[in-house]
């Protein structure tokens, strides 16, 4: 084995070679999960929960390029919108609390299938939800070096109830999840490819000749891809900023570890003064450019909220800044003030402490048909959509958090660190906003990393590849039983994920705790 080959093994570890199966299983599970997500996607044909904002704003952006304010004279704009009158807007731009990327994506589905199509309202979220099943499987395979763990990750996400409901509801949060996960996957690819380059450049030097600085690891196109994805994530919701910060630090930390393992003497300085600035360029500055560009509809409009603020508010200190950028900055400040002022009580608001244990799932939709209505055959029925997560996944992920922290901080396992990074970026920031009205479904942003935490534990249950045949069989039996339980729970809760009309008593069977009602 050459020195380069030795370095590749040290830097990359075991790499699976069954390329066909590495794609086959995640793609197959993605197709199955996609069929479920797109089935009867337009049902119910009415705006549910926060679709009242984002679906209508998508239509407004198609027609006007920006979010327009709903006519105040309309008493029931949602009913008009649902029944075929999508133009419920006045002539004034609306102050909104989220950037435009996610709404443009929802608008794309509306443009394809029609503004009055409830299938079109939800097409974009169903698409990104389906694609994320493939992405998590490929990410898990790359992280754990196992095709089996990749298949496990895809399976758990495909049949996880919270992810399923969010994939069928036209709101922004699963779009945040998608772009953050896309950035994470791009950084994983960059990690592997940059380490191959590092091994080749260091290994080509004569034995005993140490590398003082560098080497340069090339243009790293997947870093740029990650920067674009993070810009789109932030352009959907500002909570994407925390993924940018966390993933940026993670990427530089990976570079630092790679240079140290490769034998670069001044690995710390090189990482800080070479890799660090390049990470700022590829991740931070790229995401900033993408974010500002996402406001193109607002820039070219004449009716966007605060579009001409700078013209009526001249500045002596910042007059050199283009008026459009000054107006955009003012709009961002007003968006932030508006967002943090959302403190009104809501029956389904939930403190972030309870998110991972599914303490208070959000009821997105509920009707109680009587006998003879919508196929109800008993005195009282229920027709509900509840973002209740599959507890076998979330409860295991909650327990696994302690294990992940141990593996990262004590065992120095980079995979555990990456999982912890994703969970921290999507979850911890919300603890500073506990005074705000927040909901459990925000947990979708870090759900992929919760699934990876489960996969980490399940992989240990199965056992290493060099374990005895009996040990592996026992481990596979336990994991197989866990997968059966997860699928059975998904099937059991299917009616309250998809607004099926069921007897009220059957709905009660599924509400195991008072806080779920």
- Per-residue pLDDT of 263-301, as tens digits, reads 887 788 878 888 899 999 999 999 999 999 999 999 999
Rounded average pLDDT over 488-506: 97
The answer to whether residues 504 and 368 touch, using CB atoms and an 8 Å cutoff, is: yes
At residue 477, does pLDDT exceed 80? yes
pLDDT of residue 211: 60
pLDDT of residue 12: 87
What distance lies between CA 145 and its chain's CA centroid? 23
At residue 217, does pLDDT exceed 70? yes
Band the pLDDT of 179: cuts 50, 70, 90. very high
Strands (E), 55-157: 68-70, 89-93
On whether the pTM is more than 0.85, the answer is: yes
**CA–CA separation, 126 and 491 (whole Å):** 19
DSSP for 82-98 reads: HTT----EEEEE---SS
Most confident of 16-20, 122-126, 215-219, 268-272: 122-126
Token match 């590495």: residue?
A: 22
The answer to whether residues 342 and 309 touch, using CB atoms and an 8 Å cutoff, is: no
At residue 222, does pLDDT exceed 90? yes
Rounded average pLDDT over 18-47: 96
Question: Which whole-number Å values give the CA distances from 194 to 21, 251, 254, 270, 284, in the listed order?
Answer: 25, 11, 10, 15, 19
Of the candidates 33, 66, 12, the one whose C-alpha atom is nearest the C-alpha of residue 308 is 66
pLDDT of residue 209: 57
Q: What is the mean pLDDT of the chain?
A: 94
The DSSP letter of residue 336 is: H
The answer to whether residues 132 and 24 touch, using CB atoms and an 8 Å cutoff, is: no
Question: Which whole-number Å values give the CA distances from 422 to 245, 361, 417, in the listed order?
Answer: 11, 22, 9
pLDDT of residue 387: 96
Task: Give the list of residues 6+ apart from residue 74 with CB closer than 8 angstroms, or none.
Answer: 80, 88
Kind of pairing between the strands at 89-93 and 501-503: unpaired
For 9-15, which contacts have Cβ atoms below 8 Å and span 24 or more sequence positions? Answer: 10/199, 10/261, 10/262, 11/195, 11/196, 11/198, 11/199, 11/258, 11/261, 11/262, 12/192, 12/195, 12/196, 12/199, 13/145, 14/145, 15/145
Percentage of the chain modeled with pLDDT above 70 = 98
**CA–CA separation, 512 and 67 (whole Å):** 40
**Between vectors from CA 243 to CA 322 and to CA 67, what angle results, nearest 5°?**
50
Q: Could you read off the pLDDT of 180-207 as tens digits, one per residue?
A: 999 999 999 999 999 999 998 888 776 6
At residue 213, does pLDDT exceed 80? no
Identify the residue with better confidence: 174 or 9: 174
**CA–CA separation, 452 and 423 (whole Å):** 10
Q: Could you read off the pLDDT of 378-425 as tens digits, one per residue?
A: 999 999 999 999 999 999 999 999 999 999 999 999 999 999 999 999
What distance lies between CA 339 and its chain's CA centroid? 20
- b/e for 97-113, b at 16 or more Cβ within 10 A? bbbbbbbbbbbbbbbeb
Q: Could you read off the pLDDT of 314-357 as tens digits, one per residue?
A: 888 888 899 999 999 999 999 999 998 888 889 999 999 999 99
The answer to whether residues 115 and 81 touch, using CB atoms and an 8 Å cutoff, is: no
CB neighbour class for 431 (10 Å; exposed up to 12, middle 13-18, buried from 19): exposed
Percentage of the chain modeled with pLDDT above 90 = 84
Structure tokens at 513: 């705790």
The answer to whether residues 160 and 447 touch, using CB atoms and an 8 Å cutoff, is: yes
The number of beta carbons lying within 10 Å of the beta carbon of residue 209 is: 8
pLDDT of residue 210: 58
Q: Hey, where are the domains in the chain?
A: 1-171, 297-340, 342-517
At residue 478, does pLDDT exceed 70? yes
At residue 140, does pLDDT exceed 90? yes
**CA–CA separation, 118 and 43 (whole Å):** 7
The number of beta carbons lying within 10 Å of the beta carbon of residue 39 is: 11
**Between vectors from CA 429 to CA 423 and to CA 430, what angle results, nearest 5°?**
100
Lowest model confidence (mean pLDDT) among 8-17, 57-66, 129-138, 181-190 = 8-17
Identify the residue with better confidence: 205 or 60: 60
Q: How many helices (H) and strands (E) does the chain have?
A: 22, 5
């Amino acid at each position: 084995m050459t020195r380069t080959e030795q370095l590749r093994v040290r830097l990359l570890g075991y790499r699976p070679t069954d390329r066909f199966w590495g794609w086959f299983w995640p793609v197959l599970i993605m197709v199955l999960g996609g069929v479920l997500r797109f089935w009867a996607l337009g049902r119910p044909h009415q705006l549910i929960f926060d679709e009242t904002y984002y679906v209508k704003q998508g239509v407004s952006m198609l027609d006007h390029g920006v979010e327009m304010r709903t006519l105040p004279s309309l008493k029931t704009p949602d009913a008009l919108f649902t029944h075929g009158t999508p133009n419920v807007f006045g002539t004034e731009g609306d102050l909104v609390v989220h950037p435009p990327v996610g709404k443009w994506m929802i608008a794309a589905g509306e443009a394809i299938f029609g503004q009055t199509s409830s299938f079109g309202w939800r097409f974009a979220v169903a698409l990104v939800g389906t694609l994320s099943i493939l992405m998590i499987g490929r990410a898990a395979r790359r992280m754990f070096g196992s095709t089996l763990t990749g298949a496990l990750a895809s399976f758990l996400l495909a049949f996880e109830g919270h992810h399923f409901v969010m994939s069928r509801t036209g709101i922004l949060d699963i779009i945040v999840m998608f772009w953050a996960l896309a950035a994470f996957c791009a950084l994983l690819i960059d990690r592997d490819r940059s380490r191959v380059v590092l091994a080749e450049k260091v290994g080509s030097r004569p034995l005993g000749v140490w590398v003082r600085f560098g080497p340069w690891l090339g243009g790293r196109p997947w870093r740029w891809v990650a920067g674009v994805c993070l810009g789109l994530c932030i352009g959907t919701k500002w909570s994407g900023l925390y993924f940018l910060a966390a993933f940026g630090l993670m990427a530089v930390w990976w570079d630092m570890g790679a240079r140290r393992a490769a034998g670069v003497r001044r690995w710390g300085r090189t990482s800080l003064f070479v890799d660090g600035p390049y990470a700022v360029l590829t991740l931070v500055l790229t995401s900033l450019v993408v974010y500002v560009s996402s406001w193109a509809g607002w820039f070219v409009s004449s009716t966007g909220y605060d579009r001409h603020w700078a013209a009526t508010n001249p500045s002596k200190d910042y007059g050199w800044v283009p008026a459009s950028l000054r107006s955009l900055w003012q709009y961002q400040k007003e968006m932030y003030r508006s967002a943090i002022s959302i403190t009104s009580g809501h029956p389904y608001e939930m403190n972030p402490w309870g998110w991972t244990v599914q303490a208070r799932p959000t009821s997105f939709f509920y009707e109680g048909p009587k006998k003879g209505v919508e196929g109800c055959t008993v005195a009282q029925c229920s027709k509900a959509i509840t973002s209740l997560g599959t507890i076998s996944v979330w409860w295991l992920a909650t327990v696994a958090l302690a294990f992940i922290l141990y593996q990262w901080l004590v065992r120095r396992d980079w995979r555990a660190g990456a999982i912890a990074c994703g969970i921290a970026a999507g979850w911890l920031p919300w603890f500073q906003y506990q005074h705000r009205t927040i909901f459990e479904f925000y947990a979708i942003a870090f759900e992929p990393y919760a699934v990876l935490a489960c996969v980490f534990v399940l992989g240990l249950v199965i056992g290493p590849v060099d374990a005895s045949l009996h040990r592996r069989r026992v481990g596979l039996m336990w994991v197989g039983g866990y997968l059966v339980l997860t699928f059975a729970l998904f099937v059991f809760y299917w009616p309250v994920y998809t607004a099926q009309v069921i007897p009220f008593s059957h709905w009660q069977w599924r509400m195991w705790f008072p806080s779920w009602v």
